[in-house]
Structure 1
Amino acid sequence: MSTSAPPTPAAPAADADRHLGGRLALVLLAMLWPAQMLTVAGVFTALTQASVAQHFHTTQIAWFTLVYSLVVTCVTPFVARAGDLFGRRRIMLVILAAGLVGDLLVAMAPNYEVMLLGRGLAGLYGPMAALVYASARDVFPPRHVGLATGAIGSSAGIVLVTCPLLGGWLLDHYGFRGALWALVVGVALGFVLVLCFVPKIPPTETNVSFDWWGGLLLGASATAMIYAIGQGGAWGWTDLRLLGLLGLSVVLATLFVLAELRAAEPLLDVRMLARREVCSVLVGTAIGQGTFFAAGGMIVFVALFPHIPGVSDGLGWSGTHNALVGMPSGVLIILVGLAAGVLTRRIDPRIPWRIGLAITTVGLVGQGLYHHDETQVILFGCLTNLGAGLVLACAGILLLGVVSPREQGVASGMSVMLTNLMSTLAAQIMFSALNGDSRVLNGTSFYLDGALRSAYFALAACMAFALLLSAFIPKVLRSDQIESGTVTLPV
């Protein structure tokens, strides 16, 4: 009679899996924290810019955010390429350290000029998300890469829940410098997390060369366009300066394409953009995400602007009250994003992506019609963010499914650039709609209900356009089919 030996290796294997799962959770935290610092910086600086303008007596407060966006746009192609050449973890640490110096300058600035210099330096960590999304593919195995990518995208919901509350409290009790010092602490913590928990990721390119001319042409083209769009409301959309900058942007972009086609080691393989799946995903996801980020600014005019009959139809809430009302929709983004990461292991990612765009479009229309009390703001805010959770989570997963591991770094960089550009464009469309029914009182523009409604409808149209473009996205890989997990983690 024979007997079977007990399966003694099972316990060590299960123990190893648990340890590896814990390690992956720490790596995910170390990635999503710095990846969201750009969003955190946007929330904190938006809260502080009015106080900064009054403290330094400047009429050029628009540069407080514009210089940051310009730097992010300009350096993103360099950062994405450097990650491929020198290892993404190493470049993460470099740009976080440089951005930390910038945020320190902003927090301690004795004058507005030094503050703008600091804001420019802080923009160096803006491309962090491009490195994080590319690194997620390196670190997480196929079983987990979709969930991790979805969590990184939807973690913006955590920012939208916590940062307005924290930033408003700091502003009320410690002034604008208190909020800016908190930003310094956040970036420093991100540096420590990456240093301690993100594994070393080897370069994906062995031939160490850098296409400086290509990067300068691409960065200059994108910067000229961002600046022109940013000044559209002030200059007018037919102003010769604006048209000249847009023309310059087109010329520089053309020169970039010609240079890349001839370069031995191009910064960006433009032939990759000729592939329908890559082009449609990059453009569609940039419009969807960019429109959502721009729409986040509407709550300032709806909730925080005062109610002045005949002048302003804002609700006049405090920052704390507004943050509390927005908490349910922020939590919803996180939950939906995590669900999308699991769902895309089983179904075509285009399905939840398109559903998300459709729900967000309907939610923005609903917000345009119903934004007059807490109940309406919560209900339609939740509807919009239900769709946005799918949009933010699936954008990165779609990109993983149409590019190879070698192309991932460059593709993620292009995604960040295009999203930044589309967010600026959507914001200008929003402001153009707002200005159609505005009133000026004591030098400040206020908005009536018709302006708020038109702005929401304009944003809904942008989201609907992204939905239309998504029809041209061909079939992509499910998250469990994506080639990933090339870096071995210690157990």
Structure 2
Amino acid sequence: MAGFIPSTPGQKSSDTENRSKKQSILIIVLVALMTEIVAFEFTLVSPGLTDMAVDFQTTRITLVMTIPLLVGGVVVPIVGKLADVYGKKKVLLSAGATFLVGTVLCATVASYPLFLVGRGLQACGLASSVVCYGLIRDLIPSRWVPLGVGGIGVGIGASALIGPILGGWLIDTFGFRSAFWFLFAYSAAVIIAIALLVPETTVRIAHRVDYLGALLLGLGASALILGANNEDLRTVSFVTGIALIVIFVLAERRIAQPLISMSLLARPGVWMTLAIAAAYGVLNGANGALLPQMLRAPSIPGNDQSGLGLSALGYAVQFGLPQGLAAAACGLLAGWVARQHSPRLAMLIGMSGAFIGSLLVAFGLVDTTGATILLGFFMGVANGFFYASSQNLLIEAVPADTQAVTGSMKFTSEQVAGALSSAFLGVIIGNYVLMINPTTGQPIPSMQGYHYSYFICAAAIVVAIAVTLAMKHGRTPATGGLASGQKFDTPETPAVPTR
């Protein structure tokens, strides 16, 4: 690769700062469309969980949502580091190609284990949630970065809006596999557009990828999930999982360039943001895996512990539509709040919405169409404000040459917490069975399990709010990274650092 012209730390290249408004908007739009894949692989799929459970004859259907969260939590930090070394656009396109392979597998296989393998490959698409934020920071003028991040929030909100409705219609009309075929077509078109129209970033930093750390974290989290889902192996799996995670933490302290940087983690602005992300991940994992089943559970007249009996499209209209509208609006609003006031204030607004939404389910208040719409609204507020504010908090906390690393750390915190949450809370749901569906043979869960699960989610959000209130970082208007210092256009260094 050609070398880069050095510039003063804290400044972007003149080409970037002088990029036209039209070019900047094009980049933001295409990057936002790419990040929609992250939400689409959940929102398009979640309305069909009950259909998948019947088709694959499984009671472990929450794994459909757990597997990509778990695999993504391990793989995405590696992808983030590779993006810093070899270029964000190049690595993003490679991850996108792997995602397409997994999507085709999900659309075609008849075996549930192979289907889960496809979901694992789809986790590579989650890399866009880390890499695309870095592209925004690297490629557009600093003054546009907070609004660019908010624009990505709009994209995520739009996919949260469109995904359930489109997925619900496809699933009700053509079966759940049609959602994966649509996802393949959409993703392929966006990946081609990114390849042709978005420039590569010149920001580089040498990294050595911590594959051992990724292996330890992945095996540790997997052992905990196995223990949650297998009563016979519960004790040995929990002990093994905890031991592996302890070894992971100890090993990370001894590695010069670990999967999770302890030196970066020591910064209050970083570890507090990661703690909030993990707490929110508990709720996010529950929303993805549990809410579709809760709202689509059969309605039994005279039984207040039965579900609403929504179809896939009904779930999309009553929950997905208000959630998506709120998330799309709040993603952009959060960018404005961060720029005019502070990203910390935006985070507080988002966590307040998350707390109210959790309590609605916990107290059993989601039993009518109006209550379902209200739940979607509050969860949408939480999504829109969380994703925009958390990224702006990290952008303000660290220089550009560690943006992808810290972004992947946040992603790992959120996704691993979400994977563990969906697995453990899914077990709670399974312990409260109302009856067996005489038509499908599938167990119908009691709403009591969902109520207990969302009390746990509410407790996690209380932790997030407490951390946000204690945070000294992010109390001033967002600068787009200028406050944290930029290290752009430094001479390229060999990507073979030592431990």
TM range (shorter): 0.7 to 0.9
Question: Which residue of structure 2 lines up, in the alignment, with residue 307 of structure 1?
Answer: 299
- Distance in structure 1 (CA, Å) of the matches to 2:456 and 2:115: 34
2:191 partner amino acid:
F
Q: Does the alignment pair 1:343 with 2:337? A: yes
Matched with 1:426 is 421
Change (3 A) 1:435 1:166: same
Aligned to 2:362: 368
Cα distance in 1, alignment partners of residues 445 and 95 from structure 2? 39
Q: Is the 8 A contact 1:44 1:164 kept in 2?
A: yes
Measure how far apart 1:408 and its partner are: 0.5
For these two proteins, the number of residue pairs brought into alignment is: 463
Q: Which residue number corresponds to residue 409 of structure 1?
A: 404
Is residue 269–residue 394 contact of structure 2 (8 Å, CA) maintained in 1?
Answer: no
Instruction: Give, in whole Å, the separation in 1 of the partners of 2:249 and 2:69.
Output: 22
**1:37 is matched with which residue?**
37
Corresponding residue of 1:109: 109
Relative to structure 1, is the Cα distance of residues 56 and 324 closer, same or farther in structure 2, using a 3 angstrom cutoff?
closer
- CA shift for structure 1 position 352: 2.2
Kindly report which structure 2 residues correspond to 1:79-228, keeping only aligned pairs within 5 A, or say none. Answer: 79-109=79-109, 111-112=111-112, 114-205=114-205, 207=206, 210-211=208-209, 215-228=210-223
One of 379, 385, 389 as aligned partner of 2:384: 389
Q: In structure 2, how many angstroms separate the alpha carbons of the residues matched to 1:407 and 1:137?
A: 12
For 1:58 and 1:293, how far apart are their aligned partners in 2?
20
Distance 2:420 2:117 in 1: 24
1:453 aligned partner: 451
Quote the offset at 1:318 in angstroms.
1.6
Change (3 A) 1:348 1:176: closer
Separation in 2, partners of 1:245, 1:185:
41
* Residues 382 and 119 of structure 1: CA distance in aligned 2, closer, same or farther (over 3 Å): closer
How far does residue 411 in structure 1 lie from its aligned partner after superposition? 0.4
Residue 3 of structure 1 corresponds to none
Structure 2 CA distance for aligned equivalents of residues 313 and 60 of structure 1: 20
1:479 aligns with 2:478: yes
For residues 229 and 45 of structure 1, do their structure 2 counterparts lie closer, same or farther at Cα, with a shift above 3 Å needed?
farther
Q: Distance in 2 between matches of 1:117 and 1:428?
A: 17
Q: Quickly say closer, same or farther: Cα 1:269–1:321, change in 2 above 3 A.
A: closer
Q: Which AA in structure 2 matches 1:357?
A: M
Contact 1:76–1:127 (8 Å) recurs in 2: yes
Offset of residue 268 of structure 1: 5.0
Determine the C-alpha separation between the residues in 2 that align with 1:283 and 1:331: 27
CA deviation string 1:107-159 (max 9, x = no partner): 23364454444333332222221111122211232221111112323533222
- In structure 2, do the counterparts of structure 1 residues 378 and 485 end up closer, same or farther at CA, with 3 Å as the change threshold? farther
Separation in structure 1 between the aligned mates of residue 58 and residue 443 of structure 2, nearest angstrom: 17
The 1:210–1:423 alpha-carbon spacing in structure 2 relative to 1, beyond 3 Å, is: same
Say yes or no: does 1:241 pair with 2:236. yes
C-alpha deviation, 1:50, in angstroms: 4.5
Tell me which of 254, 263, 268 is aligned to 1:271: 263
- Counterpart Cα distance in 2 of 1:59 and 1:432: 10
Q: Distance in 2 between matches of 1:38 and 1:89?
A: 16
Deviation digits for residues 153-202 of structure 1 (CA, Å, limit 9, x no counterpart)? 35332222211121122223322332221111122022123112322112
Q: Which has the larger radius of gyration?
A: 1
**Is the 2:138–2:201 Cα contact (8 Å) retained in structure 1?**
yes
C-alpha displacement at 1:310, in angstroms?
Answer: 4.4
State the 1:88 CA deviation: 0.3
SS in 1 for 2:444: strand
Instruction: Give the secondary structure class of the aligned counterpart of 1:201.
Output: coil
Deviations along 1:312-361, whole A, 9 cap, x unmatched? 51011222122122212321111122111012112122122123212321
> Does structure 2 retain, via aligned residues, the 8 Å contact 1:353–1:391?
yes
Question: Gaps (5+ residues) in structure 2?
Answer: 1-16, 490-499
Residues 130 and 363 (structure 1), Cα distance of their counterparts in 2 relative to 1, 3 Å cut: same
Q: Which amino acid is the alignment partner of residue 355 of structure 2?
A: T
1:439 counterpart SS class: strand
TM-score, normalized by length of structure 1?
0.85
Q: Distance in 2 between matches of 1:237 and 1:473?
A: 43
Question: What amino acid does structure 2 have at the position aligned with 1:431?
Answer: G
Q: Equivalent of 2:251, from 252, 256, 278?
A: 256
Distance 1:239 1:124, change over 3 A: same
Q: Where do 5+ consecutive residues of structure 1 fail to align?
A: 1-16
User: Structure 1 residue 259: deviation in Å?
Assistant: 3.3
In the TM superposition, residue 466 of structure 1 has moved relative to its aligned partner by 0.9
When residues 24 and 288 of structure 1 are mapped into structure 2, their CA distance, relative to the original with a 3 A threshold, is same
1:358 to 333, 345, 352: 352
- 1:25-74 residue CA offsets vs partner (Å, 9 max, x unmatched): 22112112222313211233334455445445567655544443343233
Aligned-partner residue type, residue 140 of structure 1: I
Task: Give the direction of change, closer, same or farther, for the CA distance of 1:58–1:135 in structure 2 (3 Å limit).
Answer: same
| Matched position secondary structure for 1:480 | coil
Kindly provide the amino acid, as one letter, of the partner of residue 420 in structure 1: Q
CA contact (8 A) 1:311 1:447 kept: no
Q: Is the contact between residue 311 and residue 448 of structure 1 (CA under 8 Å) also seen in structure 2? A: no
| Residue deviations 1:85-123 (CA, integer Å, cap 9, x gap) | 111011111111122122223323364454444333332
CA RMSD of aligned residues (A): 2.9
What are the superposed Cα offsets for residues 194-250 of structure 1, whole Å, 9 maximum, x if unpaired?
112322112421x4x524xxx222212321243234334423599223223323322
8 Å CA contact 1:210, 1:267 repeated in 2: no
Q: More displaced, 153-162 or 139-148?
A: 153-162
TM-score normalised per structure 2: 0.84
The 2-side partners of 1:360 and 1:485 are apart by: 35
Go from structure 1 to structure 2 and tell me whether the alpha carbon gap of 1:413 and 1:439 turns closer, same or farther (over 3 Å shift): same
Q: Percentage identity across aligned positions? A: 23
CA distance in 2 between partners of 1:288 and 1:59 (Å): 26
